[in-house]
């Protein structure tokens, strides 16, 4: 399993990215929130661009926003491995996924904690990654919900499976079939030690 570290709850994000650059994390996870799709607001476009430039890891951008296009436009020429949008937004999902792919970036579709997994199924041929929320989208530091693990079985193996939210050294032992796990608050408590604990948990 690969590890994607969320910097959402870092008090000094730039400093944390510099530390993560030297760590064993596989990805840095950027949680972008518009105050509309979720009530929280995080990352103005300018801050997102600046921080992506600080990272020398693969970057994984999770857009919890109603209108993703302006964010995609702003970051499409930067070092971004995945851009993930939410299936619940009221926009033309296929068109946005195509736009991401046309820019040679892998595209992901995220599904919130209480959303039916069937909503993702029409897009499975198109996406590189399915991001399954294991907390309700909006905040870091929430408790992992084991009920979402069943959703992983609904995703075919040619699509990467990413689990996001509440993952610590206890929750990780329940997770068998994810390709990437996102962890924020837990890793930020002790970056090198806790990344190693998550990496070693299921070996």
Q: Which residues bind Zn ion (CB under 5 A)?
A: 31, 62, 164
Please compute Rg for the chain using Cα positions: 15
Q: Which does 160 bind (CB under 5 to 8 A by kind): ligand DX5, Zn ion, none?
A: none
How many CA atoms within 13 Å lie on the side-chain side of 28? 30
55 binds ligand DX5 (CB under 6 A): no
181 binds ligand DX5 (CB under 6 A): no
167 binds ligand DX5 (CB under 6 A): yes
198 binds ligand DX5 (CB under 6 A): no
CB of 102 to ligand DX5, least distance (A): 25
> What values do phi and psi take at 49, rounded to 5?
-60, -45
91 CB-contact burial (10 Å; exposed 0-12 / middle 13-18 / buried 19+): middle
Q: Which is nearer to ligand DX5, 10 or 155 (CB)?
A: 10
- Shortest-Cβ-distance residue relative to Zn ion: 62
Q: Which does 166 bind (CB under 5 to 8 A by kind): Zn ion, ligand DX5, none?
A: ligand DX5
10 binds ligand DX5 (CB under 6 A): no
CB of 192 to ligand DX5, least distance (A): 17
> What values do phi and psi take at 26, rounded to 5?
-85, -35
76 CB-contact burial (10 Å; exposed 0-12 / middle 13-18 / buried 19+): middle
List the x/- string, 131-150, binding to ligand DX5 by CB under 6 A. ----x-xxxxxx--------
CA nearest to 87, candidates 132, 146, 136, 145: 132
Q: Which is nearer to ligand DX5, 72 or 163 (CB)?
A: 163
Q: Which does 135 bind (CB under 5 to 8 A by kind): Zn ion, ligand DX5, none?
A: ligand DX5
In the chain, how long is the greatest CA-to-CA distance?
A: 42
Say if CB 195 and CB 23 are below 8 A apart: yes
**Helix-helix angle 45-54:13-21, to 10 degrees:** 30
8 binds ligand DX5 (CB under 6 A): yes
The contact set with ligand DX5 (CB under 6 A) reads 6, 8-9, 29, 31, 62, 135, 137-142, 164-167, 182-186
């Amino acid at each position: 399993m690969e590890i994607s570290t969320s910097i959402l709850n870092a008090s000094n994000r730039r400093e944390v990215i510099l530390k993560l650059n030297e760590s064993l994390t596989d990805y840095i996870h950027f949680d972008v929130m518009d105050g509309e799709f979720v009530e929280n607001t995080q990352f103005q476009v300018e801050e997102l661009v600046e921080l992506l430039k600080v990272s020398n890891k693969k970057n994984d951008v999770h857009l919890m926003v109603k209108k993703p296009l302006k964010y995609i436009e702003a970051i499409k020429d930067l070092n971004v491995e995945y851009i993930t949008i939410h299936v619940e937004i009221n926009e033309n999902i296929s068109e946005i996924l195509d736009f991401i792919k046309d820019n040679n970036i892998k595209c992901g579709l995220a599904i919130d904690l209480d959303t039916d997994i069937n909503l993702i199924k029409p897009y499975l041929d198109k996406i590189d990654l399915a991001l399954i929320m294991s907390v309700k989208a909006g905040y870091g530091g929430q408790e992992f919900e084991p009920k979402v693990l069943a959703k992983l079985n609904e995703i075919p193996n040619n699509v990467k499976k990413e689990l996001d939210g509440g993952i610590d050294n206890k929750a990780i032992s329940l997770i068998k079939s994810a390709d990437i796990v996102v962890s924020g608050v837990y890793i930020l408590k002790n970056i090198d030690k806790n990344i190693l604990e998550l990496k070693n948990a299921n070996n």
